[in-house]
């Protein structure tokens, strides 16, 4: 029964003839909110904060980085990233050293303890993302990624244009 209902809803959605950007935005926003709620709860279950997760994940995938580079990558202000790095340093999850090239720059890196912590958490997070997209085939994922990139680039260009005025 549910399968038939899903098929009917899918057919209705696929035969919709209007291309309403407002409706598309609402669907996108609701999907983002639902996915975010699900994924953030998964991170909370691990016992680390969203902020700590973002910083540790960036260091896991990008390697050691200057503090001032990490902040924008994980959407934290200069003050917030400093507090986050101090907290992670206290917990022994990261190290912070002066750059050999510029003493004003501090390089942050995962410690073994930090890496041992974030690797299984990120593995869990990745599995939850895969679960989220389980009903989407690879072709649909590529199409979704293409259109999200296109919309993101357009939004960024519009925002830059707006900030000039």
Q: Say how far apart CA 5 and CA 13 lie, in whole Å.
A: 12
Tell me, yes or no, whether 111 and 149 share the same domain. Answer: no
Q: Alpha carbon of 72 to those of 39, 55, 129: distances in Å?
A: 21, 11, 23
Tell me, yes or no, whether 118 and 78 share the same domain. Answer: yes
Domain of residue 145, residue span: 135-165
Q: Say how far apart CA 165 and CA 163 lie, in whole Å.
A: 5
Tens digits of residue pLDDT in 97-131: 998 888 889 999 999 999 999 999 999 999 999 99
Q: Which position has the higher pLDDT, 102 or 60?
A: 60
- Classify residue 22: in a domain, yes or no: no
Residue 46's pLDDT band, with cuts at 50, 70 and 90, is very high
Task: Give the pLDDT of residue 17.
Answer: 55
Q: Alpha carbon of 147 to those of 21, 43, 105, 140, 154: distances in Å?
A: 13, 27, 38, 11, 10
Q: Flag whether pLDDT at 50 surpasses 60.
A: yes
Tell me, yes or no, whether 81 and 143 share the same domain. Answer: no
Tell me, yes or no, whether 129 and 163 share the same domain. Answer: no
Tell me, yes or no, whether 141 and 78 share the same domain. Answer: no
Two structure tokens written together for 86 = 């101090």
Task: Give the pLDDT of residue 84.
Answer: 97
Tell me, yes or no, whether 121 and 140 share the same domain. Answer: no
């Amino acid at each position: 029964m549910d399968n038939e209902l899903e098929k009917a809803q899918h057919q209705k959605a696929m035969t919709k003839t209007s291309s309403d950007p407002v409706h598309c935005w609402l669907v996108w926003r609701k999907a983002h909110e639902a996915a975010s709620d699900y994924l953030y709860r998964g991170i909370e279950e691990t016992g680390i904060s969203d902020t700590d997760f973002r910083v540790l994940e960036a260091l896991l995938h990008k390697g050691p980085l200057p503090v001032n580079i990490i902040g924008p990558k994980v959407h934290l202000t200069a003050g917030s990233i400093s507090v986050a790095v101090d907290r992670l340093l206290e917990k022994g999850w990261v190290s912070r050293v002066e750059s050999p090239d510029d003493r004003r720059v501090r390089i942050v890196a995962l410690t073994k303890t930090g890496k041992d912590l974030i690797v299984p958490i990120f593995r869990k997070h990745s599995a939850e993302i895969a679960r989220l997209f389980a009903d989407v085939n690879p072709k649909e994922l590529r199409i979704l990624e293409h259109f999200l990139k296109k919309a993101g680039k357009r939004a960024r260009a519009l925002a830059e244009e707006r900030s000039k005025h």
